[in-house]
Amino acid sequence: MSRADSSNPTGTPEVKDASAPGVVMSHSQILLVIYGLMAGMFLSSLDQTIVGTSIRTISDDLHGLSEQAWVTTAYLIVSTIATPIYGKLSDIIGRRPLFIFAISIFLVGSIASGFAQSMYELAAFRAIQGLGAGGLMALPLAIMGDMLAPRERAKYQGYFLAVFGISSVIGPLIGGLLAGTPEILFITGWRWVFLINVPIGAIALFMVLRFLHLPKRSANRSVRIDWWGATAVIVAVVPLLLIAEQGREWGWTSPVAFTCYVIGTLGIAAFILVERRMGDDALIPLKLFRSSTFSMATILGVLVGFGMFGALSSIPLYLQLVNGSTPTESGYQLLPMILGLMISSIVSGQVISRTGRYRIFPIIGTGLLSLGFFLFTFITASTPLWYLMIGMLLVGLGLGQLMQTLTIASQNSVGPRDIGVATSSSTFFRQIGGTLGVAVIFSVLFSRIPATIAAAFTDTKISADLQAALADPTVLADPDNTQILTLLQGSKANIGSALNGDTTFLNTADPRLAAPFLNGFADATVTVFWVSLCVVLVAFILSFFLKAAPLREKSALQEVADADAAILAQKSAASMGAQVAPPAAHTGPIDTAGASADDTPPRGRHSAH
């Protein structure tokens, strides 16, 4: 940020226009830009939370609970692949047009999803949504990285936390309410989970068109678009994510599985070769990984993404299926996680703003995340809700210290001209972890269910209660028990796959008849939490090795503007025959401490503070 002077007595941050060194963005102009970003982020964050509590109702209506992973995975695969492409293109052609495109394509996918007739159709339309979501997730953070210095950014973090917090709180509630309503305006209630994006998106699009105006960035050299790199990403990522999702059905050692392994491995090798040849124009420049800070933040992002998306996918399903909560009720029950996330995000953001230090937060965050998952490993079908809420609070407190901190660490570790690609790369790898998390979590869950249900039938108490219920004439005559009785009279294979389709019969059946299925599902979910715990424990150990350089106190726009001004001054002086020393531009190599080699940030407080 530019230093406060007599023309800026309030000390509010200002950003120089890279195309006009004498022009600055005032505090009010920065706020207007932030309003546009907030509108787009609200659309994206609301969609992430509104679907979670309604997915069971959707899958029951479309007859495919076991296929729900396709709906989530398709969205994540496409958004993951699109994220680095948005980041690189935004460095070349600008953030604003791509942000507008992202909102528009997201709305198209939302409308199509609202009229899906099967789980596979819904998965395809969610993929279109994901194409827009990739930009909605990466570009706001890149724009913030342009406008604000890392330390200054924490002061504005509250605005985005408010958006994320509001959407996180009302998203599950709205999703549950819509899913629990049979019909709204002659359209099935759950379809409004997607159609509600239309009016919200229209408002977001208007606000972005009206308020999001950024200084133009000068291009000092021609650039190439890394189409081969983008192709290699698709070849590498898609097969590996497909086998993670479908491995339990195809067989982990089947010919199809080995084909995916081979194609994915070849894709990774091709991607590395292409990126080496593309150099600075690469989709994900390999030079970023010369910084130990960027490399470690990236690894932590993958592991944290795995744990975060695993928790957000499995906890609502447990609450609704085992506890019998309605979608709306499960939305309320997730509030401890959201509350913990908001509290820890605000506190960590303020501490970072005042001290410029952030290394402690990944350590505390992964520690709390591990503790939360550890508590979840003790749950059963009869675990009280308050116990689950304690675990959710710990998970939220951990995530709140990790999400923004790892992004700031990645941005602070690169030069100003690489902010966009660094931000998108950070988001890309976190999404990779999240996509793998969802795929692996659901694969493990539904692989374990047949065995855990079979084990539940051998439990002495459950078996005795079940036999007593089957001998009760009133139970046999109750129409609410018809479906589960038919299931119990079938083969063991049918019983093991009972939770692959419509599961609403479990909430209406006699508790003694439903007990084996609910206990079996709870035991399978515990296995999932053990997997998540192991992953976040690895992140906890690695967090101690994160090197955190002091945060820079100039924004990327100002650093680029200063460098451009110095280059112009040098050229002007050279044209007059003067000898001018090379400009101190922040375009040098990245050192292992995580900052530009010629960029040693001052340790004192900025005068604008």
φ, ψ of residue 330 to 5 degrees: the values are -65, -30
The reported pLDDT for the residue numbered 146 is 73
Q: Compute the distance between CA of residue 78 and CA of residue 86 in angstroms, rounded to an integer.
A: 12
Q: Which residues pair with 188 in a beta bridge?
A: 183
Q: 0.85 cut: is pTM over it?
A: no
Instruction: Report the range out of 374-383, 428-437, 564-573 with the highest average pLDDT.
Output: 374-383
Q: Are 507 and 324 in contact (CB under 8 A)?
A: yes
**Domain edge (last residue) among 501, 525, 549:** 525
Q: For position 541, what pLDDT does the model report?
A: 93
Which two tokens mark 485?
A: 């009785």
Q: Does residue 594 carry a pLDDT above 50? A: no
Task: Estimate to the nearest angstrom the gap between the alpha carbon of 304 and the chain centroid.
Answer: 10
Residue 235's contacts (CB-CB under 8 Å, 6 or more residues apart) are: 263, 264, 266, 267, 270, 271
The pLDDT tens digits for 476-503 are: 877 877 777 877 776 565 565 656 555 6
| Helix or strand holding residue 183 (H, E) | strand 183-184
Residue 264 has pLDDT above 80, yes or no: yes
Domain boundary among the residues 250, 282, 314 is at: 282
DSSP at 572: H
Residue 266 lies in a domain: yes
Domain stop point among 480, 495, 525: 525
Number of domains in the chain: 2
Distances (CA, A) of 353 to 62, 139, 366: 48, 22, 21
What is the spatial distance between Cα 432 and Cα 430, in angstroms, rounded to a whole number?
5
Find the range with the poorest average confidence among 12-21, 318-327, 328-337, 474-483.
12-21
75 within 8 A of 92, measured Cβ to Cβ? no
pLDDT-derived band of residue 606, with 50, 70 and 90 as boundaries? very low
Angle among Cα 384, 385, 388 to the nearest 5 degrees reads 100
pLDDT at residue 537 greater than cutoff 90: yes
pLDDT (tens digit, 9 = 90+) per residue, 114-164? 888 888 888 889 889 988 988 887 788 777 777 776 667 666 665 665 676
Give me 594's structure tokens: 């995580």
- What is the full DSSP assignment across 364-375? HHHHHHHHHHHH
Report d(CA 418, CA 415) in Å as an integer: 6
Among residues of the chain, what percentage have pLDDT more than 70?
76
Q: Which domain does 474 fall in, by range? A: 452-525
Q: What is the DSSP string of 221-254?
A: S-----HHHHHHHHHHHHHHHHHHHHHHHH-TTS
Is-contact 50 171, C-beta < 8 A?
yes
- The b-or-e profile of 557-592 (16+ CB within 10 A means b, else e) is bbbbbbbbbbeeebeeeeeeeeeeeebebbbeebbe
Higher confidence at residue 429 or residue 554?
429
239 found inside a domain: yes
How open is the CA angle 175-129-90, to the nearest 5 degrees? 125
Give the residue from 135, 51, 123, 79 showing the smallest Cα distance to 432.
Answer: 79
Find the mean pLDDT for residues 62-73: 69
Question: In the Cβ-directed half-sphere of 536, how many Cα atoms lie within 13 Å?
Answer: 33
| Number of Cβ within a 10 Å radius of residue 276 | 11
> What does pLDDT average to over the chain?
76
- Is residue 514 a part of any domain in this protein? yes
d(CA 225, CA 237): 20
pLDDT digits (tens, 9 = 90+) for 160-198: 656 766 676 677 778 777 877 777 787 887 888 888 888
Tell me whether residue 572 is in a domain: no
Residue 334 covered by a domain: no
pLDDT at residue 102 tops 80: yes
Distance CA 590, CA 220 (A): 20
> Does 44 fall in a domain?
no
Are β-strands 187-188 and 20-25 bridged in parallel, bridged antiparallel, or unpaired? unpaired
Beta bridge partners of 187: 184
Residue 520 inside a domain? The answer is yes
Task: With respect to residue 192, please indicate whether it lies within any of the assigned structural domains.
Answer: no
Does residue 283 sit in helix, strand or coil?
Answer: coil
